[in-house]
Amino acid sequence: MNILVAGATGYLGRYLVNTLLADGQQVRVLVRDASKLTGAGPYHSPKIDPNSVDVFEGDLTKPASLEGVCSGIDVVISAAGLTRNSYGHSFHDVDYLGNKHLLEEAERAGVQKFTYIHVLHGEQTDAGILKAKIKFCEELKQSSLPSVIIRPTGYYSDLTNVLDLAASGWMFLVGDGQARMNPIHGKDLAAFTVHHALHSTGMFDVGGPRVYTYDEIALLALRVHGKKERVMHLPAQPILVIAWLLKYVQPHKADLIKFFVLSMLTDGIGERFGDEDLETFFHQYAQSEESGEWT
Ligand SMILES: NC(=O)c1ccc[n+]([C@@H]2O[C@H](COP(=O)([O-])OP(=O)(O)OC[C@H]3O[C@@H](n4cnc5c(N)ncnc54)[C@H](OP(=O)(O)O)[C@@H]3O)[C@@H](O)[C@H]2O)c1
C-alpha cells in the first residue's frame, strides 16, 4: 500500500516509517525540512534513509504547501503535532487546524483511511493541547473518511524528564505519586499503530507492557543514576497557579505544565502492548547522555 506519514521527523514518526518499510509498504513522508531525516531523531529514534521513501516538503500551517501530498496515497498516518517546541504556533494552529488541512487534502484525493495519534484520556483535562486534539478527532469522525484514532499513554521519550531530574539526586512529583500508567516505547507504539492503520477502523487505547505508579517510575529513575531513593511530593494547586500566571508570557510552556500536572494526578492505562522495557531504555539513555553514544 501507499502510506503517507506526517510528522516523520519526530520521535514516533521515525519508528512509524521504519516499521512500514520493514513491512514492505511504500512510504511518502510529509516533512518541513528533509535534511532532518538523515540525522538521529529525538531521543535516539532512528534515522530515515531518504532514498527509501518519497519525500514531500510541506507545512501543516500552510495549506497551499500541502497540495498534492495525498495524491496516490491509500492510508494517511498523522503523528504530527506540537510537543516540546511551539515554533511560534499554538496547539490550535498545528494539532487542530494543521491536521484539518491534511484531512481536507486526504478527502480531496480520496484516500481510504486516515489514522491519527491522539492522547489517552484526553477528555479528562482542559489543557490547550488536549482541546486541539479533541477538536481534530471530532472533525475526523465527521469526515467522509474511515478513521483510526490511537490514544497512547506517555512515551518513554517523555519520561526522560524524570530521568534527567533524577540525575540531580532530587525527585519531585506532583500529587501523591500513586496515579498509574503504562508508558510505551516508540517502536512498540509504531507496531501497534501500523497494524491498526492497515487492518482496522475505530479508536484504540494503548500503553506499554508494564503498569507503574509515578512513584515507581521516579524510584526507578533514581536507581538508574545510583541515587538515594528519595521522592518529594508537591501539591498540584500552587503549580497550576504558576502555570496560569506563566500563560501570559510563555503560553506553550504553561500549557505543557498544566497537561503534565493533570496527567500525574490521573490513571492513564491503555491496552498492554509490546515488549520494550522501560528500565533498559532508562539505562541506555543515561549512558548515552554520559558517553554521547547510543548502544
Ligand atoms: N510524547 C508523548 O508522551 C505523547 C503521548 C501521547 C501522544 N503524543 C502525540 O503523539 C504525536 C507524536 O509525538 P512525538 O513525541 O513523536 O512528537 P515530536 O517528536 O515532537 O514530533 C512531532 C512531529 O510533528 C512535526 N510537525 C510539527 N509542526 C509541524 C508543521 N507545522 N507541519 C508539519 N509537521 C509538523 C514535527 O516536524 P519537525 O521535525 O519539522 O519539527 C515532527 O516531525 C504528537 O501529536 C503528540 O502530541 C505524544
- The per-residue pLDDT for range 21-30, each reduced to its tens digit, is 999 999 999 9
With a cut of 80, say whether residue 164 has pLDDT above it. Answer: yes
243 against 16, higher pLDDT: 16
The contacts found for 235-238 with CB under 8 angstroms, 24 or more apart, are: 235/174, 235/175, 236/174, 236/175, 236/261, 236/262, 236/264, 236/265
Pocket test for ligand 1, best of 12, 31, 181 (most atoms within 8 A of CB): 12
Query: pLDDT band for position 58 (50/70/90)?
Result: very high
The angle, 0 to 180 degrees and rounded to 10, between the axes of the packed helices 128-142 and 99-109 is 10
- Distance (angstroms) between ligand 1 centre and the Cα of 192 equals 17
Alpha-carbon distances, residue 31 vs 28, 50, 130, 190, 199 (angstroms): 10, 11, 23, 18, 25
- Distance (angstroms) between ligand 1 centre and the Cα of 89 equals 13
Per the prediction, the chain carries an average pLDDT of 94
Pocket test for ligand 1, best of 83, 90, 97 (most atoms within 8 A of CB): 83
In the block, which residue shows the cell 492513564?
268
**Count of domains forming the chain:** 1
- Distance (angstroms) between ligand 1 centre and the Cα of 50 equals 19
With a cut of 70, say whether residue 134 has pLDDT above it. Answer: yes
Query: pLDDT band for position 13 (50/70/90)?
Result: very high
Enumerate residues 6+ apart whose C-beta is below 8 A from 279. Answer: 220, 224
Q: Which of 26-35, 95-104, 224-233, 245-254 has the lowest mean pLDDT?
A: 245-254
With a cut of 80, say whether residue 59 has pLDDT above it. Answer: yes
Backbone angles phi and psi of 135, in degrees to 5: -60, -40
The contacts found for 16-23 with CB under 8 angstroms, 24 or more apart, are: 16/77, 16/79, 16/190, 16/193, 16/194, 17/48, 17/53, 18/46, 18/48, 18/190, 19/187, 19/190, 19/191, 19/194, 20/194, 21/52, 21/53, 23/194, 23/198
Which atom of ligand 1 lies closest to the CA of 82?
A: 27
Beta strand ranges found along 154-196 (DSSP E): 171-174, 180-181
In this structure, what CATH number is given to the domain that contains residue 45? 3.40.50.720
Residue 96 and residue 135 in contact, taking contact as beta carbons nearer than 8 Å: yes
CA-closest residue to ligand 1 atom 12: 79
Q: Residue 69: CB within 6 Å of ligand 1?
A: no
| Mean pLDDT value of segment 11-27 | 98
Instruction: Quote the pLDDT of residue 129.
Output: 87
Which pTM value belongs to this model? 0.96
- Distance (angstroms) between ligand 1 centre and the Cα of 81 equals 4
Domain that holds residue 173: 2-291
| Mean pLDDT value of segment 1-6 | 98
Q: Residue 33: CB within 6 Å of ligand 1?
A: yes
Query: What is the Cα–Cα distance from 48 to 5, expressed in whole angstroms?
Result: 12
| Mean pLDDT value of segment 285-293 | 83
With a cut of 70, say whether residue 143 has pLDDT above it. Answer: yes
- Distance (angstroms) between ligand 1 centre and the Cα of 232 equals 31
Query: pLDDT band for position 124 (50/70/90)?
Result: low
- 180-213 pLDDT tens trace: 999 999 999 999 999 999 999 999 999 999 999 9
Q: Which helix (H) or strand (E) holds 55?
A: strand 54-57
- Distance (angstroms) between ligand 1 centre and the Cα of 165 equals 23
